[in-house]
Structure 1
Amino acid sequence: MTTTDASNLTVALGEGLAPAVVTVSGPDRQGVTAAFFRVLAANGIQLLDVEQSQFRGFLSLAAFVGLKPEGLDTLKEGLNETLKGYGQKVTVEIQDVAESSRPRSTHEVVILGNPVSAKAISRIGQTLADYNANIDTIRGIADYPVTGIEMKITVANAAPGGGIPLRKALAELTPELGVDIAIERAGLLRRSKRLICFDCDSTLITGEVIEMLAAHAGKEKEVAEVTERAMRGELDFEHSLRERVKTLAGLDASVIDEVAKDIKLTPGARTTIRTLKRLGYKAAVVSGGFIQVLEDLAKDLDLDYVRANTLEIVDGKLTGRVLGKVVDRAAKAQFLREFAADSGLEMHQTVAVGDGANDIDMISAAGLGVAFNAKPALREIADTSVNSPFLDEVLHMLGITRAEIDAAEEEEGTLRRVPLEQRV
């Protein structure tokens, strides 16, 4: 507790009162809370803080109070006598003012996996301790399609940038433990995000549109090889795109509609966008693919912004060229800035999700950059990574629980829980 915290508590406490913590735990039964406060009221107790939780039928109730030291035994006796019929265990302990602060968590850590083992939490907890970070609270936030655990922590060096060494240490645990770990600063900044921007191919959708088009030209192998090299950052994106598009020359423009019909959303994409739109987010897609393929998808998902390349069509045929400036990595970042400005947002209020080297600038510019099943070049610079096939992990990284998602989906009649192997 800081000197200011201690002095504030001294002012808050009534004259002659000492700080104490009262806890009640046991089966969650109707009337426990009412009986608890009835006893406190009868003993003239001052309330300073209260917290109650229910965990799978087990109740935990705690109050930070001001009481007269000479009334301690009377309070204990009253609580024990009143609550024993409810099967509750009671403790009352006088505390030193300097030890009585509620933690002001500096960061939040989200662990996502299928499964999340006790070993994983143990290793993460030890790593936090090694970097002088204290775990303040833990709660479960998801049970489908992955298990999600959220920790509020206090980092010793809470200044901007102070948590970078811890972030790197946690990132190194991901491949060892088989879980995704995200860490963000706690507080209003985390809750202020209001714009999310997705890459399209292999992020918002499961395939690569250029490869789907190339399949109609019998050039899928050649195109796939160039795509992979570009995504690894080995080739300039614009040069590689133009080379791939050349293979499409002469195709009938009707293939665009055929490919658009075959597009498959990444599992969880629709839930993610629908949930964030409910919360007032703007949603965008910026793609190195082609606008003609994405237009209907953007309307279906109610996206606010869509930017992609334009295939040249002459006399109903693809010419093998793109029109205008290519949407490369620099353009993606610039579009993100334009979307934020148009929405009246600061860049720290944005989230970007992508999978390849072409997304590096956009991911770096965003307030939260998420690498989704990404190539190493992108994972190295992203704030956090998703290594499962489920895009709705992003929701949990933003602190949105599965219970909140399901409640909204149920209210609107869109709730679906399908076996994971069938999830689309």
Structure 2
Amino acid sequence: MPNSKQYTVVVMANFEETQRIWCEADAVCFDVDSTVCTDEAIDELANYCGVGRQVAECTKAAMGGAMTFRRALTQRLNIIRPTRDQLANFMIDHPPNLTPGVRELVQLLQSRNVPIYLVSGGFQSVIERAAEELEIPSSHIHANKLRFFMDGEYAGFDETQPTSESGGKAAVIKRLKDKCGYKKLVMIGDGATDLEACPPADAFIGFGGNVIREKVQSKAKWYVTDFEELISTLENGAAQEIDH
């Protein structure tokens, strides 16, 4: 029993610290697929190109830890092999499906002059449309970039992007902190790669509004399924500051 009581105190302290950092954040990084947007862009692109089943099997193997993120990305894109025209048509036919509440949350953060970044293992060109809707500058997107030959055929992806390999999100956050001097940077996401980006992120908030990942839910100090919880916490924190 003594050990159980001690464990509860530690968990509550971590949760409260995460909430405090959230209310005082000087930068926020969002994952995109299944966080800012409701779906996974690479799976939707695979379905659009008629190879959804094959890519889903590869994704399942990757999620099980059978391969590195870069190898999984390479294999999935080699199956899809999207042309420039296919990608352009996909983006026309599939406008960003923003998660409920994310627009309001982003607007609230922007009203507090908190810089927002989109850090994703997805594709820059696809994410730019969501960023435009949320009025996030394209320079604040850190994601993978597809390459095409002169005739528009698929030519691979930019392997110099840190988000194309395991640990890439942590590398992006470290660069942001080193460059901009952020002291209370918060990462929000649904996946293990988001969880693993803290540290160097100062706090991590797990998001399960679109899909619940058991590992993230069990290890996150603060786990939410609705962005309204983050909004209300910010607003209540601001009200308490005024009262004092």
TM-score band by shorter chain is 0.7 to 0.9
C-alpha change, 1:193 and 1:164, in structure 2 (3 Å) is farther
CA shift for structure 1 position 164: 6.0
Do the aligned partners of 1:355 and 1:372 also contact (CA within 8 Å) in 2? yes
Q: Does 1:342 align with 2:182?
A: no
C-alpha change, 1:189 and 1:220, in structure 2 (3 Å) is closer
Do the aligned partners of 2:146 and 2:156 also contact (CA within 8 Å) in 1? yes
Q: Which amino acid aligns with 1:204?
A: V
3-state SS in 2 of match to 1:352: strand
C-alpha change, 1:392 and 1:330, in structure 2 (3 Å) is same
Q: Could you tell me which residue of structure 1 aligns to residue 157 of structure 2?
A: 322
- Where is the helix percentage greater, Structure 1 or Structure 2? 2
Q: Could you tell me which residue of structure 2 aligns to residue 252 of structure 1?
A: 83
Q: Which amino acid aligns with 2:86?
A: V
Cα deviation code 1:106-131 (max 9, x no counterpart)? xxxxxxxxxxxxxxxxxxxxxxxx94
TM-score normalized with structure 2 length: 0.80
Q: Which amino acid aligns with 2:180?
A: S
3-state SS in 1 of match to 2:35: coil
Matches within 5 A, 1:271-350: 271-304=104-137, 305-319=140-154, 321-325=156-160, 327=163, 328-346=165-183, 349-350=184-185
For the residues of structure 1 that align with 2:182 and 2:65, how far apart are their CA atoms?
30
CA shift for structure 1 position 384: 1.3
Q: Could you tell me which residue of structure 1 aligns to residue 202 of structure 2?
A: 367
C-alpha change, 1:241 and 1:362, in structure 2 (3 Å) is same
3-state SS in 2 of match to 1:183: helix
CA shift for structure 1 position 208: 0.8
Q: Which amino acid aligns with 2:171?
A: Q
For the residues of structure 2 that align with 1:393 and 1:194, how far apart are their CA atoms?
19
- Percent identity among equivalent residues? 25
CA shift for structure 1 position 318: 4.0
Do the aligned partners of 1:203 and 1:354 also contact (CA within 8 Å) in 2? yes
Cα deviation code 1:192-216 (max 9, x no counterpart)? 3121101111111111111111112
- Where is the strand percentage greater, Structure 1 or Structure 2? 1
Q: Could you tell me which residue of structure 1 aligns to residue 242 of structure 2?
A: none
C-alpha change, 1:318 and 1:360, in structure 2 (3 Å) is farther
Count of paired positions: 227
Matches within 5 A, 1:170-249: 183-185=15-17, 191-249=23-81
For the residues of structure 1 that align with 2:35 and 2:19, how far apart are their CA atoms?
28
Q: Which amino acid aligns with 1:367?
A: D
Matches within 5 A, 1:79-118: none
CA shift for structure 1 position 402: 11
Alignment gaps of 5+ in structure 2: 240-244
Alignment partner for residue 223 of structure 2, among 385, 388, 396?
385
Do the aligned partners of 2:41 and 2:122 also contact (CA within 8 Å) in 1? yes
CA shift for structure 1 position 270: 0.7
Alignment gaps of 5+ in structure 1: 1-129, 132-162, 171-181, 405-424
Higher RCO (C-alpha 8 Å, min separation 6): 2
Cα deviation code 1:216-260 (max 9, x no counterpart)? 2211112123224434544321111110000122x3312323333
